Chain A
Amino acid sequence: MDSTGLTASPLPHSAPPAMPRLAGDLAIWIFILAELLAFGVFFAAYAFTRANNIELFNAEQAALNRNAGALNTVLLLTASYFVVRAVQAAELRASQSCARWLLAATACGAGFLVVKSFEYAAAFEHDISLSSSPFHMFYLSLTFFHFMHVILGMVILTAMWNGARTGRYGPDDMNGLESGAAYWHMVDLVWLVLFPLVYVIH
């Protein structure tokens, strides 16, 4: 961080940033935009298909477990909060604290997958499949597309946890951590539209 030997910087780390800066690698942000575009097209397709099948969509949506959807919103948002705390810890050179926050975030992600798996199990018990109705086609494909993103997010969080434990991240090396964090927040951001759209709006 300080190759000049001027270690007595008058500015603490919490000083307001002087220069605009994109947190994370440019490549991950291009990837995030592509992901948002894909989910956006998916959301629009759901909304316009629903417009032509309102009674069907309303009836089948009523059978969804809205409580499970809300619980999963809480888990994803909490995981995102933990990731923010991990990044903040790394800025303070607190590697072990950073690792613990990342582990907590991964646990929330695992909780999301467990809740969603119970939802899928209940759906399959009722013979719900991709071909059973337009609503179920969207419900299963949209949520499973997102489910796979959560899994990838957890792989990234685990890799970052491993890096944090060995002291890889600090104020002079934030790029990897910030890039992974941005991906995780994207997974959360998408769910913040998916939950009201698929589980609540009728």
Chain B
Amino acid sequence: MHSNVHGTARRATLLWASLMVATLLTWGMGVLGATGTGAIAILAAISFWKGAVIILDFMALRHAPLLWRALTLGWIIMVWALIAIAYWKGLAR
């Protein structure tokens, strides 16, 4: 028999609710017109956290071999690092 890696309904519901709050924060930053390095850092942190919930819990990679967590979490870190470098490049112009 395989191992059940999908967690409980209660945990999934709590994570969904927290993802909704995080989405509200991102939307609110847009409404406020937040800009600059601090805003990017916050938006990247929220996006990374949401992505980590999807990867570790929803995709159940928390229980997968380390390589898969490294590749997927590494993807978000790499993407946001590139976005941040491009943003600073734009600020410096």
Residues of chain A with a CB closer than 8 A to B16's CB: 77-78, 81
Task: Please report the C-alpha to C-alpha distance between residue A172 and residue B6 in the assembled complex, in whole angstroms.
Answer: 14
Note all chain B residues with C-beta closer than 8 A to A174: 2
B12's partner among A37, A48, A81, A202 (CB-CB below 8 A) is A81
Contact (A18, B3) CB under 8 Å given A29-B68, A189-B51: yes
- Asked if B7 contacts A77 (CB within 8 A), the reply is no
Number of interface residues of A (CB under 8 A): 59
A66 to B85 CA separation, bound complex (whole angstroms): 24
Nearest CB of B to A53, in Å: 9
Residues from 157 to 189 in A contacting B, C-beta threshold 8 Å = 171-172, 174, 178, 181-182, 185-186, 188-189
Is A192 positioned at the interface, with any CB of B under 8 Å from its CB?
A: yes
Top 4 A-B pairs, shortest CB-CB distance: A17-B3, A47-B86, A51-B90, A70-B27
Binds B, one of A109-117, A132-140, A144-152, A193-201: A193-201
| Interface residues in A53-99 (C-beta closer than 8 Å to B) | 54, 66-67, 70, 73-74, 77-78, 80-81, 83-85, 87-88, 91
Q: Are A23 and B89 in contact (CB under 8 A)?
A: no
Once the chains are docked, how many angstroms separate the CA of A172 from the CA of B2? 7
Bound together, the chains give a CA A66 to CA B79 distance in angstroms of 22
Q: How far is the CB of A157 from chain B (nearest CB, A)?
A: 14
Of the residues A15, A70, A172, A202, contact of B35 by C-beta under 8 Å? A202
What residues make up the interface of B, taking CB atoms closer than 8 Å to A? 1-9, 12-13, 15-16, 19-20, 23-24, 26-27, 29-31, 33, 35, 39-40, 43-44, 46-47, 50-51, 54-55, 57-61, 63-66, 68, 71-72, 75-76, 78-80, 82-83, 85-87, 89-90, 93
| Closest-CB distance, A146 to chain B (whole angstroms) | 14
**Given A47-B82, A51-B90, A182-B59, also A84-B50 (CB < 8 A):** no
Contact, CB under 8 Å: A14 / B86: no
**Is the CB–CB distance between B4 and A74 below 8 Å?**
no
Decide: A44 and B65 in contact? CB cutoff 8 A: no
